[in-house]
Structure 1
Amino acid sequence: MRLQTILLPQLEKHDIEELFIHKEGGYISFNGYFNLFYIEKHKRYTDIQELSLKLCAKGYRSIILMHNSNELSRHDLKETILQEYEFVFPYHEKDQGVFWFILIESNEDKKYITGYFEGRSNKYREVNIAVAICTYRRETYILKFLVELERFMTNADQMESASHLCFYLIDNGKTLGQNENIVSAVAKFNGIVSVIPNMNAGGAGGFTRGMLEALKEKRKKALTHILLMDDDAIFMPDLFVRVYGFLTTLKEKYRAITLGGTLLREDYPYIQQASGEWFENFAVLNEHHLVDLRSYENCTAPFMCSTVGNQRLYSGWWCCCYSLEVIRDDNLPIPLFLHHDDIEFGIRNRENGIVFLNGVGVWHKGFELAFTGANLYYDVRNSLITTALHEPQRTTWEVKRWIWKRITAATIEFRYAEAKLVYQGLIDFCRGPEWLYSQDPDSLNTLVRAQIVLSKIEDLKKELTEDEYDEILKEIDQYRKTFGVETLKRYYSPQHRNASLLKKVTFNGWLLPADKKVAAISATDSPFAAFRKRRVILFEAFTGKGVVARRDFRMLQRSVVFYIKSSGMIDRYYKRAALEYRERLRKITSREAWENYLGLTE
């Protein structure tokens, strides 16, 4: 069984060499992130008995098999002849660490290398995977995906895994069928790829529709798993090889384990943003943000190799594979539209376990490059739902403190509409699960998003003097030039939201005379960056959008009203609503409920 293909950097994409290999002189070490074989994960979860490396190579003198930093064996190669080889690793002797290999170059000009790790087992599981991609009017991304998929599906080397896949393009915008290029591309797959028009119920509704389709065709196609993927994510097709190879070799007791997806950054492709996170005390937590995968030391650190400590983790739905023993008629996500659908469902089903493998993941745009905006409504409402379900021990005082902090953070940065959305999210949580289920999700989303509008940066000329506008452009340009991994590290550091005593006691300078100079504040800056400012430009450097925001004491008074009203609302309704969510969860997460919610019963 092919477990993972030996991958090389490609000039047109994924060209960070150190993600795949490290070169030194004539030695090519295949110990980059994508080419390491993680022993402990396969030993614990799979029935693999033997492991070998199959190569087809020319232009290399010899090969060295490695375990961690230790040489296992050396073998001579035929330098001038394209030859197939098989080398056996001592899999039964090692329980931890990584296997990899080194090729020593010859003087031959033309060099060629392909290969893969092959696992042998006494038994293989029957696995067929439905891949569900949720999309909303992103035809460009879908076309790119279909081109990549066609290349993969027609590669003879990949046919074992390719023949066990089918694909659902969940079309929340109902526009894919109107695009001739997409219709033509889909037709080439002879039914393997299906376009499923769906109402716009957000990512939660789109991915759940994919689950419903998989359940409907489970018997017909002998489906065993569903792989969820974002439409705007960049992936390497060997993802499918690795998912299939791992699932077919699973031990019986781990047959329902979740195979999570690693999140890499699109802007810094060598940075791992997340490989499993957890939710606690209203916060998404991640012990290992921004891991540089160019480093062999990072890739072989205990947190990358070990299977210990995964019990509390969940995977985002940018890439996540569930068993259809977990996805059932009576166990589907909550209709949350977006944000926390993956978190809540992951927590609810974590007794099945979760594992993350190198190469099973995607590249995605950074989430912190834009202001939270209207999504704050969903963050608040859905965080409260997740907390009510899975942290029932939280007190009303803890809930109040969290809500007040969210209102404060928005207010001190003059993001008054967001402060209102925090309060609105609380109100709608308190209305309970029946209210949530009864809403038209698209209409509600339209109302929420209408409350926050960012303009093009050039449109801000109307509200600034010429000198102010020029200065702001310089600051934004400087931000773009200096933006980097260090910027992200500061953003994710505990100090990001820390403030001096002066800033705290003066409500970030609201009680002090205003500084009249306009400041430019990005989405990655601390909210305390607006200290004493009368006006600020809240800008998104990479979308070219922004807004002029002002200190407004009437809005401050409104936020104080939100503090008071939210306190009363939490005292009066929080515990009741939390109990309703716990008692009535199954009523809104069943197949029947979802089919009715999505209008599939008409």
Structure 2
Amino acid sequence: MSDRQPNRTKTLLQRTFFASETPRIEPALYADGTAVRAERDRAVLSDGARLSTDTYFGRFAATYWQRYTDLAAVTVELDYDCSDGATLTVQTRASDISGRVRPLSVERFTGAGTAVMDVRIDRFLDGGAAWFDLAADGGSVSVSAARWLADAAPVRDRRVSVVICTFNRPDDAVATVGAVAGDADLAERVEAVHLVDQGTARVSDNPGFAGLADLLGDRLNYLNQANLGGSGGFSRGIYESTAQGRPVTDVLVMDDDILCEPESILRMTSFAQFARKPMLVGAQMLLLSETTRIHMTAETDDLAHLDCTVPPPNARRGVDALEFRQDKRVIAGYNAWWSCLIPREAIDAVGLPMPYFIKWDDIEYGVRCRGAGFPTATLPNAGVWHADFHLKDIDDWSSYFGQRNVLISSAIHSAFDGKTIAATMAKHIGESIVGLKYGQAAIELEALRDFLAGPYVLADGGRAKLAEINAMRRDFDDTRVRPASEIADPPVIPSPPAPAPKWERGVLVKRAAQQILGRTAPGQIAVGAFDATWWHVGRFASAVVTDASQTGVRVRTYDRALSLAQGRELAALCWELRKHAPELQRAWREAVPQLTSRENWERLFAVD
């Protein structure tokens, strides 16, 4: 038997919860056991019960702590209460990069008290995690207040300013701020919450807003401003957090529409405080529709080819957190802003985000920080739930901003080879044209035109462009989402396999030639959202395509004159892009200090 006195002066790194605060979340993400009644902070084990915290939220990400901090050991403490004659067995375990499990310690306890176990952080450099398992014998046992502690002070004992940007989602915003403010341990680390409201359905009018104000007091900074997109909302919060006279804090940016696990935020702040050098710390994205599935364990970019969805070595996409254990350490290139902590040192070094309105602002900022010597860690046991990307159709107004902003980001941060960039854009927009998405092709062509025009296109932060793009899309019938009941049921034609990557350009040219020569199949077909690829839809004269949201359909119909006109414009713009790439790169790079300056954002915010 062993029962050392707990050391209450230690620093809290993370807590082990046995269930979510939200009933819809699978409990096995927190603890896995038999004959166990699991509550948020307490688990009751019947005689013979076993419980393991070798789970998504139960693990301690030892490989990241060994690689990026100077902690040599941590302590696990938990309070227990054994019924008469019952024994609690606590076993700490660890994994390595290959997932092999090794025991660390075994302790047995009777009566009531606090169990204390030490875990050395010394054999995890390439990968691996630590956790504890519980067993009750001879009677029932109650376990509560499980926590991981450090017998050391943080490198940077610094509080955090939370920034949440919202647009017409008052219920979501109240819930997200409430998740932060309602957690006592986390709230102690929060200096301020900057809630930037850019919508017309005001958060302040929501019945739950008064409760937030009561919880946070003068730490809640509620701001209204014109809609400047996500980049404008987040930039306003970062601007306020770093204003002269405010305490020096790190900044945690969070989407308004996430389902927030406050423990993830506490773990991010702990890690940032102990990192030997300042670094960005991000949470993973879990899917709201499949709450155990991870969007991607970590991400990086390939700006030379206009791509931001690249899995770095050892990263995985779409895995089930109940089945897949993240033992391999992954080096992230950036972390999206569904939840990401930015150290104050990085903000001071690189300035504010780019005035992109929406899309790529978080990626560009992470890449900019990385170039200035501030890497990103995406913690594998910190996650928030976010709306699934595969249920959002890319054929919408935001495609303009995505295409324009990736070109700008590539010009700023990559070699920006004109031949490669022009070929990549030609293929991408060509796929929209061949796929009969003329409305999307039109706004992507507009994005290319605006990029070629130079930095002045960002002068208003995107407000006028949003209205212009929406008006442009209304001219194209294929952008309209209709109720499926409006359309007669056409035949469903199975999609052929995707062409091999080396043949994609050739197949694209072939499909375009077939369309021009009138060699498409007559009549109309039906295509599901996940089969609506250009190489399939482009074979037919008309297609009824299910929108990715599964709420309606779009009708795409081949238009020879429009296809030829868009193709000619695409060729001309790509030639200009290829020819003027060096000058464009120079212009955009030279504009970054002014575009990201406090003075430029003050102008956009209309701050006096």
Bin the TM-score by the shorter chain.
0.7 to 0.9
Residue pair 1:61, 1:103 contacting (<8 A) in 2 also: yes
Residues 247-294 of structure 1 deviation map (CA, whole Å, 9 limit, x = unaligned): 33232xx0x211122111112222221243222121121242112221
Q: Which runs of 5+ in 2 are unaligned?
A: 1-10, 35-47, 96-100
Alignment counterpart, residue 172 of structure 2, candidates 141, 150, 175: 141
Q: 1:445 to 1:500 in 2, by over 3 A?
A: closer
* Mapping of residues 27-42 of structure 1, within 5 Å: 27-42=50-65
Residue pair 1:265, 1:273 contacting (<8 A) in 2 also: yes
Alignment counterpart, residue 65 of structure 1, candidates 92, 99, 102: 92
Distance 1:583 1:552 in 2: 42
Residue pair 1:257, 1:323 contacting (<8 A) in 2 also: yes
Deviation at 1:526, TM superposition (A): 2.3
Q: Which runs of 5+ in 1 are unaligned?
A: 480-486
Aligned to 2:212: 186
Residue pair 1:369, 1:524 contacting (<8 A) in 2 also: no
SS in 1 for 2:535: helix
Distance 1:355 1:327 in 2: 17
SS in 2 for 1:516: strand
Using the size of structure 2 for normalisation, the TM-score is 0.84
Aligned to 1:333: 353
Distance 2:23 2:503 in 1: 39
* Mapping of residues 94-493 of structure 1, within 5 Å: 97-106=128-137, 108=139, 111-121=142-152, 124-153=155-184, 158=185, 162-173=188-199, 175-176=201-202, 178-188=204-214, 189-216=216-243, 219-220=245-246, 222-251=247-276, 254=277, 256-280=278-302, 281-284=305-308, 285-287=310-312, 288-295=316-323, 298-300=325-327, 302=328, 305=329, 309-310=331-332, 313-328=333-348, 331-350=351-370, 351-372=373-394, 373-391=396-414, 393-437=415-459, 439=460, 441-452=462-473, 454-455=479-480, 457-458=482-483, 461=486, 464-465=487-488, 467-468=489-490
Distance 1:171 1:496 in 2: 44
**1:51 aligned partner, one-letter code:** V
SS in 2 for 1:181: coil
SS in 2 for 1:334: coil
Residues 557-584 of structure 1 deviation map (CA, whole Å, 9 limit, x = unaligned): 1222223321343255443222111112
Deviation at 1:455, TM superposition (A): 4.5
**2:107 aligned partner, one-letter code:** H
Deviation at 1:536, TM superposition (A): 1.1
Deviation at 1:139, TM superposition (A): 0.7
SS in 2 for 1:414: coil
Q: 1:278 to 1:11 in 2, by over 3 A?
A: closer
Residues 429-474 of structure 1 deviation map (CA, whole Å, 9 limit, x = unaligned): 111112322x35222112212333654542761xx34x54xx78xx
SS in 1 for 2:106: strand
Deviation at 1:496, TM superposition (A): 9.1
Residue pair 1:165, 1:192 contacting (<8 A) in 2 also: yes
Distance 1:262 1:401 in 2: 33
Q: 1:577 to 1:30 in 2, by over 3 A?
A: same
Residues 303-325 of structure 1 deviation map (CA, whole Å, 9 limit, x = unaligned): xx35xx44xx0111111111111
SS in 2 for 1:563: helix
**2:295 aligned partner, one-letter code:** Q
Residue pair 1:430, 1:577 contacting (<8 A) in 2 also: yes
SS in 2 for 1:314: coil
Residue pair 1:176, 1:195 contacting (<8 A) in 2 also: no
1:75 aligns with 2:107: yes
Residue pair 1:330, 1:590 contacting (<8 A) in 2 also: no
Deviation at 1:396, TM superposition (A): 2.2
Residue pair 1:53, 1:115 contacting (<8 A) in 2 also: yes
Q: 1:194 to 1:543 in 2, by over 3 A?
A: farther
Distance 2:416 2:592 in 1: 19
**2:20 aligned partner, one-letter code:** Q
Distance 2:607 2:594 in 1: 17
Alignment counterpart, residue 86 of structure 1, candidates 94, 116, 122: 116
Aligned to 1:600: 607
Residue pair 1:410, 1:419 contacting (<8 A) in 2 also: yes
**1:199 aligned partner, one-letter code:** A
Residue pair 2:283, 2:379 contacting (<8 A) in 1 also: yes
Q: CA RMSD in A?
A: 3.0
Residues 508-561 of structure 1 deviation map (CA, whole Å, 9 limit, x = unaligned): 852424241422241564222214222112222535132211111122112222
Residue pair 1:508, 1:531 contacting (<8 A) in 2 also: no
**1:557 aligned partner, one-letter code:** L
Number of matched residues? 559
Q: 1:6 to 1:524 in 2, by over 3 A?
A: farther
Residue pair 2:183, 2:262 contacting (<8 A) in 1 also: yes
Residue pair 1:518, 1:533 contacting (<8 A) in 2 also: yes
Distance 1:17 1:376 in 2: 37
SS in 2 for 1:542: coil
Distance 2:447 2:134 in 1: 57
Residue pair 2:296, 2:318 contacting (<8 A) in 1 also: yes
Residue pair 2:282, 2:377 contacting (<8 A) in 1 also: yes
Q: 1:442 to 1:94 in 2, by over 3 A?
A: closer
Distance 2:364 2:21 in 1: 39
Q: 1:499 to 1:243 in 2, by over 3 A?
A: closer
Residues 404-424 of structure 1 deviation map (CA, whole Å, 9 limit, x = unaligned): 112211112211011111211
Q: 1:259 to 1:39 in 2, by over 3 A?
A: same
Aligned to 1:484: none
SS in 2 for 1:212: helix
Residue pair 2:289, 2:388 contacting (<8 A) in 1 also: yes
SS in 1 for 2:472: coil
Distance 1:516 1:395 in 2: 42
SS in 2 for 1:328: helix
Q: 1:458 to 1:276 in 2, by over 3 A?
A: same
Residue pair 1:330, 1:591 contacting (<8 A) in 2 also: no
Alignment counterpart, residue 19 of structure 1, candidates 26, 29, 36: 29
**1:35 aligned partner, one-letter code:** G
Residue pair 1:258, 1:354 contacting (<8 A) in 2 also: yes
Aligned to 1:532: 539
User: Which has the higher mean CA deviation after the structures are superposed, 274-283 or 227-236?
Assistant: 274-283
Distance 2:433 2:502 in 1: 14
Residue pair 2:169, 2:256 contacting (<8 A) in 1 also: yes
Residue pair 2:351, 2:597 contacting (<8 A) in 1 also: yes
**2:287 aligned partner, one-letter code:** R
Residue pair 1:523, 1:538 contacting (<8 A) in 2 also: no
Distance 1:152 1:588 in 2: 37
Residue pair 2:164, 2:234 contacting (<8 A) in 1 also: yes
Deviation at 1:100, TM superposition (A): 1.1
